[in-house]
Amino acid sequence: MSFVIDRSEIRLHGNPVSYYEAGSGPVILLVHGITSCKEAWRAVMPALAERFTVVAPDLLGHGGSAKPRGDYSLGAYASGLRDLLAALGHERATVVGHSMGGGIAMQLAYQFPERVERLALVSSGGLGREVGLVLRAATLPGAEWVLPILTRRGPRDAVVGAGHVLNRLGRRTRADVLGTARGLASLRDESARRAFLHTARSILDAGGQRVSARDRLYLAEGMPTLIVWGERDPMIPVAHGLAAHEQIPHSRLELFPDAGHYPFEEDPERFVDVLERFIRDTAPSSYDEEEIRRRLLAGAPA
C-alpha cells in the first residue's frame, strides 16, 4: 500500500508550524535534528504509515515552520511538540528523535511523561560532551558574520565537494554528505541562520554539548527505550549510545555498522523493521507519579 504524504500547516501560538501526517493507528512522532527538517524522514514514512499514524513536523526555526525571535531551548521545543500533539488530537506517541531531536525527545519525556509511550533515540544529542567541530564553531563570537559567507553557493559547494572526496576515501558516508549539503542550504535565509545560532548556543559551547540528560537517565527505567546509532557517525560518537544503553535499564541497542549520522537514510528498510519490532515487543509506558517520586528520592545509582 502506498501513502500520499501531504504537507499540512497549523498555527500554534500565532506561529505557522509545517508538518507531515500520514497513515492510521498508534502514533509515531518523528523529530528531526538541527538544520534538518521533516524531509529527512521521507525514506521511512511511507512504510511506517502502513501500520501507524506518523507525524513529522518542522521544528520552529526549521524548514517550512516559522522562525520567530524567541526561545529555542530544548524545553521550549518539547513544549511545542506537546502542543502540536494536543492540537492534532493525539494523546500519546512513540517519540523518535534524531540528533538534537533525540535531546528534545528526552526532554519531552521528562517534562510530559504522560504524553510519551516509548522513546527511540537515533544518533542522539544530550548523551555526552563530544560533537562535530562545525556545530561547536557556531557558538564562537563572529559566527553570525561567517555563516552568510559559508552558505553562499561557492563556499557551500566547496564544503560539499570536500565531503564527496571524504566519501570516496571511506571517511564519510553518502547520507552524511547529503545531510551537510541540506543543512548548509537551509541556512541561506537570514531568519533561519538567526534561529540556528540561538538553538546551537542554547545547547552547545566551544567545548561541545553542554546540555546533558545523563544525570536523569535513571528516571527512564519505566520508559521503553530504543537506541539506534551508526558506527561511523562523525558528528556524535557511537560511544554515547553504548554508554546510554548501559545507563538506561532494559533499553534496546541497534548499531548500523555501515551508517554514519543518518542510519534511517543509509538503511531505511532495516530502520523501519527495528522500530516496528521495538513497538511490537514493548508495552506503552504508564505514568505513575508515586513511582517517579520514589526514584527521585532514591537518586541516581552511584
Annotated active-site positions, please? 99, 233, 261
Query: What is the rounded CA–CA span in Å between residue 244 and residue 250?
Result: 11
Query: What is the rounded CA–CA span in Å between residue 278 and residue 226?
Result: 7
Q: Judge whether 230 and 274 are in contact, CB under 8 Å.
A: no
Of 124, 103, 96, whose CA–CA distance to 229 is shortest?
Answer: 124
The three grid cell numbers given for residue 44, joined into one nine-digit string = 521511512
Query: Pairing relation of β-strands 208-209 and 225-230?
Result: unpaired
Query: What is the rounded CA–CA span in Å between residue 233 and residue 238?
Result: 7
Q: Judge whether 66 and 192 are in contact, CB under 8 Å.
A: no
Q: Which letter does DSSP use for residue 65 in this model? A: S
**Cα 1–chain centre separation:** 27
- Alpha helices by DSSP H, the chain: 45-48, 74-87, 100-111, 133-137, 143-150, 153-168, 174-186, 190-203, 238-247, 263-266, 268-281, 289-298
